[in-house]
Structure 1
Amino acid sequence: MRLGMLTACLPGWDLERIAAWAAGAGYEALEVAVWPATGGRDFEASHLPVADFGPEEAERTRELLDRHGLRVSALAYYENNLHPDLTRREEIRTHLRHAVDAAQALGVPYVGTFIGRDWTKPVAENLAEAERILPELVAYAGERGVKLIVENCVMEGWHPDGYPGNLAYSPELWEWMFSLGFYLNWDPSHLTWIGIDPVETIAPYADRIVHAQAKDVELDARARQRYGFFGKTAKNGDPWDMGWWRYRVPGLGQVDWARVVDRLYEHGFTGTLSVEHEDPVWGGDAARVTQGLRIAHRTLRPLMVG
């Protein structure tokens, strides 16, 4: 098992600066964010130009990683593959294919994405639509030696009423998406706040957990008494504010990382545990973000063999 980090938390840094910092901080792998450079949401980082990724760019990237003793565990493009706007949906599909092509060029085994959801339609219609359109993307990746991995994030902020915006949040839905050929980028933080013990999900799905994200979550039971499980109704312009929980870096929330890492080892996980930093306490500027990444490293590194 290797300890890595998702580069999306440092959107203002280029890949060279991130690689130098990560290697110096003791990280072994990078899950590289590859959103288009469009100036969109602040977590949409663009650390590789996958839409225009030729042999020279691939060679420069390999040289950079070799220089710092790092590997790329996955490319990360987490977008809504069931977007209700068909023009936007096709843009997402096209960029996902570019990410797969870049992964093939670099010898990276995984590209991360979401199933997503058309929030204007019921879940049953979304599942049927996914079965119709998503196997082509899985096949495109497979033909290039790449697996598509899906993070089990609820993406409640994508839905106008705060309901799940990514239909991959529960083991029931994992089994459905596995039937389409997807693999899992397993993240315990999302499972924790929706009431699922993350440790208990490792053994049954170990053969499909090929990459894992390390993100913690802090629950506020008193606030939940006011808002209920579904969270705030009045979000004051922030669709992600649920009111009774927030993401933290590993070690500052409720996830039992000793049990998580031990259970991953027990069931043969040999991939990358990649820190996904979305902690509002250790966010806001690069100095605080990098301190959060150091806290995560201090939490996780002692639990890992080697």
Structure 2
Amino acid sequence: MKLGAYTACLHDRSLDETLKILGELGLTSAEINTGGFIAAPHIPIDDILSSAAAREDYLGRFTQAGITLTGLNVNGNPLNPDPLVGPKHAADLHRTIELAALLGVKRVVTMSGLPGAHPGATAANWVVNPWDSQWLNVLDHQWNEVAVPFWRDIQARAAAADVKVCIEMHPHNLVFNPPTLQRLVEQTGATHIGAEMDPSHLFWQGIDPVAAIEHLGDLVFHAAAKDTRINEDNVRLFGVLDDRFTRTSADRNPLSLGGNNTLNQWPERPSWQFVAVGRGHGDEFWVPFLRALHAVDPDMAVNIEHEDTELDQFEGLRAAAESLTAAAGKAGI
């Protein structure tokens, strides 16, 4: 098993400096962003697409640092009906599969995406609880008319490239839990589409990530190490489905998510929040989590994703790396 990090939290550093930091933390794996919601400063995409020498030089930098490039990450919404977003994110995913094949990287991480509620819609629409038949009509449209044709094409591209596409089960996407992941695989006849097991989005839904791994089995291709703290006092008042987010003002340089969309601010008293590995759940979770992943694939990469707003980029990475490697030692892997 390879323990590493998704390098988006170090986008202000050069690739070489980033790899050096990972090595100093005792990590041996890196996952690089190639498009979607955020930029791709750690990979010269055009050069790699056009030049074998550029590919050799790029991979050589990882080898020299003692780091393996285990994944390319292109999280976004390739099904977004917004014409400024969906087509670009879809093109980024297509290109990333091509990049992965050229680099010999076997894992591409992304999200399933989320369409609009009906033909002609211009905004994505997530159906949370389809108790009314109108919402089943929405889901029928989203799955049958949009998602299944798109993902059948992705399956064909991934199979031709000998690349596995790993879907992060993320709310506000059609695939957000094990049953919807299985539904996508079954309805597309996929052999090269499976799960990126990120426990952080499962925790706050009340899903046991270890049970999810055991349920999905060899559909788990790749994993993220990101923790979630459930703030029980706030959950009692607000629940886990919470709409108290606020817009990020222009003077605070909101993060663009594509088109005119930007990242909002979390509530001051969140019901749950992303934290570094070990700050939401201890070894009682991370040890069996790693063992369950190892049972599926002993060579699986588990890459830290740092989104702990209480810790800076270095503190968060270091805390996560220390907790993750300690758990791996206790797991005997």
Q: TM tier, shorter chain?
A: 0.7 to 0.9
Report the equivalent of 2:170.
Answer: 153
Q: 1:109 to 1:14 in 2, by over 3 A?
A: same
Cα distance in 1 for partners of 2:41, 2:288 equals 34
Q: Indicate yes or no: 2:19 matched with 1:24.
A: no
Among 104, 107, 112, the alignment partner of 1:110 is 107
Report the equivalent of 1:206.
Answer: 217
Instruction: Give the Å deviation of 1:234.
Output: 5.2
Aligned-partner residue type, residue 113 of structure 2: G
TM-score (norm 1): 0.87
Instruction: Give the Å deviation of 1:236.
Output: 4.8
1:192-231 alignment, distance < 5 Å: 192-231=203-242
Question: Does the Cα contact within 8 Å between 2:35 and 2:89 map onto a contact in 1?
Answer: no
Could you say which structure has the larger radius of gyration? 2
**More deviation, 246-255/213-222:** 246-255
Aligned-partner residue type, residue 83 of structure 1: N
Report the equivalent of 1:2.
Answer: 2
- The number of residue pairs the alignment matches comes to 286
1:52-91 alignment, distance < 5 Å: 52-53=47-48, 54-86=51-83, 88-91=85-88
Aligned-partner residue type, residue 186 of structure 1: M
Q: 1:106 to 1:279 in 2, by over 3 A?
A: same
Report the equivalent of 1:177.
Answer: 184
Question: Does the Cα contact within 8 Å between 1:6 and 1:276 map onto a contact in 2?
Answer: yes
SS at match of 2:207: coil
Among 150, 156, 162, the alignment partner of 1:139 is 156
Question: Does the Cα contact within 8 Å between 1:73 and 1:108 map onto a contact in 2?
Answer: yes
Report the equivalent of 1:241.
Answer: 266
SS at match of 2:289: helix
Instruction: Give the Å deviation of 1:44.
Output: 4.0
The Cα offsets for residues 186-210 of structure 1, whole Å up to 9 and x where unpaired, read as 1111111001111111112120111
Q: 1:234 to 1:91 in 2, by over 3 A?
A: closer
SS at match of 1:247: strand
Question: Does the Cα contact within 8 Å between 2:77 and 2:90 map onto a contact in 1?
Answer: no
Instruction: Give the Å deviation of 1:226.
Output: 2.1
The Cα offsets for residues 80-110 of structure 1, whole Å up to 9 and x where unpaired, read as 0111124532222222222112111110001
Among 294, 308, 314, the alignment partner of 1:290 is 314
Aligned-partner residue type, residue 246 of structure 1: Q
RMSD: 2.0
Unaligned 5+ segments in structure 1 are 155-164, 283-287
Report the equivalent of 1:157.
Answer: none
The Cα offsets for residues 145-168 of structure 1, whole Å up to 9 and x where unpaired, read as 1111111122xxxxxxxxxx2111
Q: Indicate yes or no: 2:299 matched with 1:270.
A: yes
Question: Does the Cα contact within 8 Å between 1:210 and 1:269 map onto a contact in 2?
Answer: no
Question: Does the Cα contact within 8 Å between 1:224 and 1:231 map onto a contact in 2?
Answer: no
Cα distance in 2 for partners of 1:234, 1:151 equals 22
Cα distance in 1 for partners of 2:169, 2:245 equals 25
TM-score (norm 2): 0.80
Instruction: Work out the percentage of aligned pairs sharing the same amino acid.
Output: 25
Unaligned 5+ segments in structure 2 are 119-137, 249-262
Question: Does the Cα contact within 8 Å between 2:70 and 2:105 map onto a contact in 1?
Answer: yes
Report the equivalent of 2:135.
Answer: none
Report the equivalent of 2:41.
Answer: 46
Report the equivalent of 2:280.
Answer: 253
The Cα offsets for residues 251-291 of structure 1, whole Å up to 9 and x where unpaired, read as 00036112211222344442111101111011xxxxx2122
Instruction: Give the Å deviation of 1:19.
Output: 0.9
Aligned-partner residue type, residue 44 of structure 2: P
Question: Does the Cα contact within 8 Å between 1:215 and 1:248 map onto a contact in 2?
Answer: yes
Q: 1:103 to 1:267 in 2, by over 3 A?
A: closer
Cα distance in 2 for partners of 1:192, 1:234 equals 20
Report the equivalent of 1:285.
Answer: none
The Cα offsets for residues 121-174 of structure 1, whole Å up to 9 and x where unpaired, read as 4333211111122211221122111111111122xxxxxxxxxx2111111101
The Cα offsets for residues 37-85 of structure 1, whole Å up to 9 and x where unpaired, read as xxxx6x5443113244232321111110110111111100101011112
**More deviation, 107-116/131-140:** 131-140
Question: Does the Cα contact within 8 Å between 1:35 and 1:46 map onto a contact in 2?
Answer: no
Cα distance in 2 for partners of 1:204, 1:235 equals 37
Report the equivalent of 1:11.
Answer: 11
SS at match of 2:74: strand
